[in-house]
Structures are given as C-alpha cells and as structure tokens.
Chains A and B, each alone.
Chain A
Amino acid sequence: MTIQFNDETFRDDYSFHNSAWAIKRFPFPFHEDSYMYSVNMEQHRGGPAGSIYEKRFDVDEHYLSEMRDRAMVLADDPLRCQSLPHMTLAGWDLLELIMVSKSEDYPELFELHRDGNTWRWVNKPMGIDDTFTFLDEATLPYGPLEYITRQAQGDWCVLDQRDDNLWMDAGMVTTQADWSLDFDIGMNFFEWHAPVPLAHEKGIFVRALKFLLNIQQGSPARRLNWTMTVTPLLDTSPENYHKWGIQKTTLTPENIGQKQHLRVELQTFFRLPRSNALVFPIRAYLCSFQDLMTMPKWGRRLHRVIRDLPEELATYKGFIANRPMMLDYLSKFDDGLPTSDGIWPEFESEPPLKPSADS
C-alpha cells in the first residue's frame, strides 16, 4: 500500500485532517458503552490488515507533517528530548528496534543495510540517506535516541528498569497530553503517575507496574488511552498551557463538531535487548467529533461514555467545563440502539442512525 502523506499543520491555521482511510482505522478506545480504568493490556503482535495494530510502529498519512511539527517544537525547546548518561545504550537499542522494524514492515519507505557495525539507513519519505557506525555516537548528527525519534511518529519514553521499578530516564516528548519530560525526568513509575485520580485507589498502578516489569524481549504489549483536545494540537504540553488552555473556551455549539477532537494514544511497550530498558512509545491519534460521528456505532457509544464518566475523570482529562456542550452535540447521534462489542466501527453491519423526532 502506498501512503499519500498529508501536507498539514498542527498549529496556527490547523490544517490537520483525516482522510476517509484514516477515520476508518482510527483507534476508537471504547470497547463498550462505559469507561473505567483497567490494566487493559494485550500482546502487540500485529492486528487486522490496515489497522493501526498491524505494524510494530504505525506510519500513516500524518508522518511528514508530524515530523515537521516535532522539529519546530525542538527548535523552541531542546529539553523535550533528554537522555541521562546511563541511557545511551538504550538509545542505540531503540534506534536498532525502529530501523529494523520499519525497514521490514515498510520496505518501500525505509531501508537498513548492515555490514558489521557500519549501517546505512535510508528514509525515503524524509529524504534521508545516512551511513554511520553502530554504537559510535560521533558518527550521527544527534544522539541515537534523538536521531531516530526525529524520524518516528509519537512520543518515546525510555524507562530504565532497576530496583523493581521503572525510571523515566530518557525520552522524546513533543506530542504529549499535558505532561512534561523535563519535569518527570528521573522519576519512578509511581512518582510520575501521582497526579492520576482514582487509579491508585483501585491498585491499578501496582498491577500495571508488575505487568510492565515482566514484559519480555520479543513479546511487546499495547493498550489504548484517551483524552480530549480542542483544535488538533499535538504539543499540548504544560510548558505551553498558556497557548492552548485558552482554546477550550472557544468551543461553541456551532464549531464543536469540527473543533473538538478525541485524542487517543496507542501505547506500546517493548523490552530493549542490550540495556534491558523498556521503551514506551505513545502514539497520539486525533479525530474530530464530526468525523467520528460518520460511524454510527462510535456516535452512540461516545455519547454514552462521556455522559456516564465519573466527574473526577472528566476533570482530570480537562473537559469537565465543556461536557454539557459535548453532550448536547453527541446526544443527536445516539438513538438508543444497542452497540456491538469491541472497538471496531463495524460500519457495514451497524445500523445507521435512526432519525429522531425530538432533535
């Protein structure tokens, strides 16, 4: 399959958009009509053809625009990419994992040629053709982590594993849902999750950590997480809150379908071989409410989930103030019909929206 890359922006005029293909494969995160935290992990071993689960690292139509946006964020704030001194080996592990995976999964886009420690990496979409010495930092324009994650969509947390805990000791974070690598660097799993409500009481993090500590080489895992973003902004960082927080007040009943986006993170977890570190890619996908509503099942379900979500979660995810307006909009797409299990849109079998007398 050839990917047609969009020319679009995630700032200023916000020309970001999803094609019909991208909407159909959007990772809708709700497998039932309600939502509560759970350790919703599964093996990351492929998925339906064309889905975001199919490849180890999904490349889609937003690739080039996202990489352009990342370069702009880094130019303004170099601390978005950091690696503590003991994490260099893990950076090489990650470089190898991404290069090997992408060249095998997308041979028409990426090539890796290895002759001992002399490696040649070809990234056709970005026009890169570099030859370097594996494990020799002096032969790359950036450290190994920064070099490869300037060419890979999503954020990348590289977690050191020691003392039965995980430590946020390296990363590339420019497309985050309101958290900061510069603030969290060096923290352990419980420290960086401290702000999350309800989940601690439910013992979610203790169980999640046990699971993550036991992720093994060759057996990656994945889960979906979600939040809400007004306007398709990738860099919703605390550093820039003054720029994007205000946008939440610009929603109106007229523009909400086009401006309000469901933001879904495909989170995957891979054990890195040489360093025994864990890499945690967080890949953000955005979809406007009006595009989501083209799938009748998602329309019905999103309304029910948002309506019934506990107040603490709506507050933590930052949309408590706009929830009534969201529900006014979403309720028009919920005719009360039952929905099928699972996250897939089932647009061929799910009944179309019933016209409603009172809407």
Chain B
Amino acid sequence: MSGAQKIAVTVTEIVPLNELVTRFKFEPTDGSLLPTFSGGAHTVVEMKDGAITRLNPYSLMSDPMDQTAYTISVRRDDVGRGGSLFMHKRVKVGDQMTISYPVNLFSLDLRAKKHLFLAGGIGITPFMAQIKQLERTNGRWELHYATRSVALGSYVDELTTKHPNETHIYYDDQEQRIDLKNLLDGQPLGTHVYVCGPKGMIDWVRKTATDEGWPREAIHYEEFLAPKSGKPFEVKLAISNKVIQVGEDESLLEAMEREGVDAPYLCRGGACGQCETDVIDYSGTFIHRDHWLEDADHKSGKKIMPCVSRFEGKTLVLDR
C-alpha cells in the first residue's frame, strides 16, 4: 500500500470564516478515536475530482490531544490546480472522505526555552495546533501574525481573546509590518523561531534571522512543494506494461494513480523519497524539482521523483 495509513472520516462541520478561508471538521466514520498528533502535523486529504484523485496536504489545527475530530482550514486558490476549489465548492457536510494519518514536517523543537511564531495569512493553521499543545504543557510562546485585512484575519478574534498577551496582529492594508530585526533582537537565549506563510515571508525570516546570527537549528519553516503544472508528456511504464499521458495540471504520480498503477508515495512534496523511481530509457529533458535525490542522481538520467518532477521530450520509460 502507498502513502501513510488512511482514515475514513465524515465531514461534520463546514464553517466559512471569510471570503477566502473555510474550515472543515472531520470525524472518524466508524465512531472510533483518531490518533493524537504533534502540533505542526498535516494530513493528506483525498479528493475524488471526476477522473482525477487529488491528494493535498493541510495542516491540522485542532487540539492535538482531541481524538474525536480533526479540523483544517482551506484557503481558496483560484489559480491553483483545483484542490482548494474542490474543497470549497464540492464538499458538503455528511460527505465521507479519506485522510491520512498525521505527518509532521514542522515539529516544535521541545528543547526551546521559548517558541516565537511568525505567521502569514493561511500560514496561521499549524500554529493553532502548536499553541494548543504548548498551552497544555506550560510552554512559553509568542505569536506575530500578519494578515491582509481585518476581514481576512482568520482566527484573529479567537487568538486575541484567549491569548491577549502572546498574540500580535499586523494588518497589511493598514501598513502594519512585523519589526523583525528588533523582535529577534529582544528574544531570550534559547528561543526558536518558526515561520509559516508565503514563500517571500519564509525567505525574509530565514535571511534576517541568519544575518542576525541565529543558529540554523533554531530557525524552522514549513514549505510544501506543490506539484507544478507543465507541458503534457507521455510515459511508458515497463512493469505495468502501460503507456500513459501526463496532463498539464496533474503530476506524474497522479497520472500513474489515475491509471491504476500502485506507485509508492508519502509526502507528495519531493521530500520523503518514497516515490523514487528508476528510469529505464529516455530521450529528452528531466525537470527535477525534488529535495530527495542528490545532484548526481538528477544528472544521471536514471532516477525521477514522480510526485513533483516532470519530463519534456520524446521517450520516457520507467521501471514501474
């Protein structure tokens, strides 16, 4: 079987928070308990979108100790490959869905004397669970959360009501900016900084903290590589004895799954290595995007990670 263990769930609540973000609540369909998890974990949600099965990762934002339900918040992306639109437009209360066991690629460093959270927009979601975890274990934390406007500030009210001393909100449309350099400068020794948000914000925080002399191990960020669209291409799968077409808006992995090929996977973001596949023959150019293979592997033309990497050219034959 491919991927993390699966859980059959029922959608029990859908709450539109604002124009862009909607919250979904999942409870186990068989009435059992969900696994506990650690703050920062995500679940991969399976979406049956016509002929395509999409599997998108979303951060869990409920209390990690609450085994009765998981919640996620989905920001609508009108120009993405369609996963968030599916969640917003097609999913209804009572629907049965499949999600994965929690997977954490953005874990708290429990050695930290203090946790400094920097969130941008929908990047607030993993911190919602981490804050609940730290509140239970008397951890010390502080949140700086930048959002576009009052209207789009998901969970601002909840955070400022429950944690008025720890929460700091910045509204872009009011020209409010995190004074990052000063903020970092004032932290006690042993503080770890965590950032989740748009790529520009992640880069800014990482660079500023590094320039200020923060140790690399004390800077944490979450970066999901979503598969990118690209030119369609044809692949021959030698073991399955199939020739398949990879469409513009699907990944090679998704195309194999659509054709009923049981290809291994876990993170679907180019990081975990589970989907590594041997290339038997090719004539063309690989577009490698993963973090898993070494540079030499990328250049060798012998391996590809089908979750995020693509191909342009005449012939590609895979050992799958």
Name A's B-contacting residues (CB within 8 A). 85-87, 89, 135, 160-163, 210-211, 214, 216-219, 273-276
Contact check, A274 vs B65: say whether CB atoms are below 8 A apart: yes
Q: Tell me the smallest distance from the CB of B102 to a CB of chain A, in Å.
A: 6
The residue in chain A whose Cβ has the minimal distance to the Cβ of B4 is A216
The residue in chain A whose Cβ has the minimal distance to the Cβ of B272 is A214
Contact check, A89 vs B110: say whether CB atoms are below 8 A apart: yes
The residue in chain A whose Cβ has the minimal distance to the Cβ of B36 is A273
Contact check, B217 vs A216: say whether CB atoms are below 8 A apart: no
The A-contacting residues of B in range 94-114, CB under 8 angstroms, are 101-104, 107-111
Task: Point out the residues of chain B lying under 8 angstroms from A161, CB to CB.
Answer: 107
Binary interface encoding of chain B residues 195-208 relative to chain A, with 1 for a CB under 8 A from any of its CBs, else 0: 00000000000000
Task: Point out the residues of chain A lying under 8 angstroms from B273, CB to CB.
Answer: 210-211, 214
Task: Point out the residues of chain A lying under 8 angstroms from B108, CB to CB.
Answer: 276
Task: Point out the residues of chain B lying under 8 angstroms from A273, CB to CB.
Answer: 35-38, 64, 102
Task: Point out the residues of chain A lying under 8 angstroms from B64, CB to CB.
Answer: 273-274
Cα separation A273 to B41 with both chains bound (whole Å)? 10
Main secondary structure of the interface of A (DSSP, over half): loop
Name B's A-contacting residues (CB within 8 A). 4-5, 35-38, 40-41, 64-65, 101-104, 107-111, 133, 136-137, 216-217, 266-267, 272-274, 292
The residue in chain A whose Cβ has the minimal distance to the Cβ of B218 is A163
The answer to whether A163 and B217 touch (CB under 8 A), given A214-B266, A217-B35, A276-B38, is: yes
Contact check, B266 vs A217: say whether CB atoms are below 8 A apart: no
Contact check, B110 vs A217: say whether CB atoms are below 8 A apart: no
Contacts A/B (CB < 8 Å), 8 sampled: A89-B110, A161-B107, A210-B292, A214-B267, A216-B4, A217-B4, A217-B102, A274-B65
Q: Tell me the smallest distance from the CB of A96 to a CB of chain B, in Å.
A: 8
Contact check, B101 vs A216: say whether CB atoms are below 8 A apart: yes
Cα separation A162 to B194 with both chains bound (whole Å)? 13
Cα separation A275 to B130 with both chains bound (whole Å)? 11
Cα separation A38 to B217 with both chains bound (whole Å)? 30
Contact check, B5 vs A219: say whether CB atoms are below 8 A apart: yes
Contact check, B217 vs A162: say whether CB atoms are below 8 A apart: yes
Task: Point out the residues of chain A lying under 8 angstroms from B136, CB to CB.
Answer: 135
Contact of A274 among B5, B36, B109, B267 (CB under 8 A): B36
Contact of B101 among A211, A218, A274, A276 (CB under 8 A): A218
Contact of A162 among B103, B107, B274 (CB under 8 A): B107
Contact check, A86 vs B35: say whether CB atoms are below 8 A apart: no
Cα separation A217 to B107 with both chains bound (whole Å)? 14
The residue in chain A whose Cβ has the minimal distance to the Cβ of B7 is A218
Q: Tell me the smallest distance from the CB of B191 to a CB of chain A, in Å.
A: 14
Q: Which of A85, A210, A216, A274 has the most CB of B within 10 A?
A: A216
Task: Point out the residues of chain A lying under 8 angstroms from B109, CB to CB.
Answer: 162
Contact of A217 among B37, B137, B272, B274 (CB under 8 A): B37
Contact check, B110 vs A219: say whether CB atoms are below 8 A apart: no
Cα separation A276 to B107 with both chains bound (whole Å)? 7
Task: Point out the residues of chain B lying under 8 angstroms from A275, CB to CB.
Answer: 38, 110
Contact check, B272 vs A219: say whether CB atoms are below 8 A apart: no
Cα separation A216 to B41 with both chains bound (whole Å)? 11
Q: Tell me the smallest distance from the CB of B114 to a CB of chain A, in Å.
A: 13
Q: Which of A85, A87, A135, A275 has the most CB of B within 10 A?
A: A275
Task: Point out the residues of chain B lying under 8 angstroms from A89, CB to CB.
Answer: 110, 137
Contact check, B110 vs A274: say whether CB atoms are below 8 A apart: no
Q: Tell me the smallest distance from the CB of A89 to a CB of chain B, in Å.
A: 6
Contact check, B111 vs A217: say whether CB atoms are below 8 A apart: no
Task: Point out the residues of chain B lying under 8 angstroms from A210, CB to CB.
Answer: 273, 292
Task: Point out the residues of chain A lying under 8 angstroms from B5, CB to CB.
Answer: 216-219
The residue in chain A whose Cβ has the minimal distance to the Cβ of B133 is A274
Cα separation A56 to B274 with both chains bound (whole Å)? 23
Task: Point out the residues of chain A lying under 8 angstroms from B133, CB to CB.
Answer: 274
Cα separation A81 to B281 with both chains bound (whole Å)? 53
Contact check, B4 vs A86: say whether CB atoms are below 8 A apart: no
Task: Point out the residues of chain A lying under 8 angstroms from B35, CB to CB.
Answer: 217-218, 273
The residue in chain A whose Cβ has the minimal distance to the Cβ of B100 is A216
